[in-house]
Amino acid sequence: MIKLKFIPGNGQDYPHICVDKCAHVQLKLFTFRLHRVDSSGDRTECLDNEVTLWEGQSSLYELNFSKEQLMTNKNQYLPNDVLQLLCECAITIGIVWEGTENITFGCPSSIQEGNLTSDDLKSKMLLDSTRILKENLKSSYKENLLCDTKLKTKTGSFPAHKNILSARSPVFKAMFTHDMKEKNSECVDIEDLDDETVQRLLLYIYTTTLQDLRWDSACNLYAAADKYEIQV
């Protein structure tokens, strides 16, 4: 069925193994591992390969030792002037593989190139989507786009969006959806918080980002988040 032919090398040239498939033999895949056996019976792997076999095909594979190396250690590798090779092989006669090799339509180039697994892609897409959403929300906050309420302290007023505040805080949600004065008002009075804390609180609500926190600022922000039941 399968013929393995040893082709010796000359001097420093490496020898080769030629794999031949006999005609009219139904073989699909041939996996083989070749070991060099020394005088003590110890094995050294010199070839490990997998071959898809076609009719009349011959394949040539280089081994990892030369004639010169064998002659230098003749007593070990050529006892009685004999080179002993041990071949382990497995043969498949049925279907080797079925399925879609790759998908290119609408697929990112990184996946087409095989650089990412499907799990990697899902994680990357999730991270990219989260980053884009944060950037968009931060832009809306910084530019005061379509704001419909304000958080008022004793000394400042900070525009915001009721839907964003409601999504992030059950306390704000109750204010805007129940029969409370904030529902129909254009502002929410929070005179117990200073301007810096409100700004940091809004930035966190919109982007889950904390910037340049000192200990006292962190304590004030934590107290504000606790008051409005915002998860930190």
E-strand spans in the chain? 2-7, 16-21, 29-37, 43-52, 58-62, 84-92, 149-152, 157-160, 188-189
Has residue 33 got a pLDDT over 60? yes
Which position has the higher pLDDT, 58 or 67?
67
Closest C-alpha among 147, 169, 146 to residue 158? 147
Which pTM does this prediction carry? 0.45
Among 48-57, 102-111, 163-172, whose mean pLDDT is lowest?
Answer: 102-111
**CB 213 within 8 Å of CB 219:** no
Which position has the higher pLDDT, 72 or 27?
72
Bridge partner residues of 151 (DSSP): 158, 188
Among 2-6, 83-87, 141-145, 152-156, whose mean pLDDT is lowest?
Answer: 2-6
pLDDT at residue 198 in the model: 93
Mean pLDDT of 71-98: 80
What does the H/E/C string look like for 179-208?
CCHHHHCCCEECCCCCHHHHHHHHHHHHHC
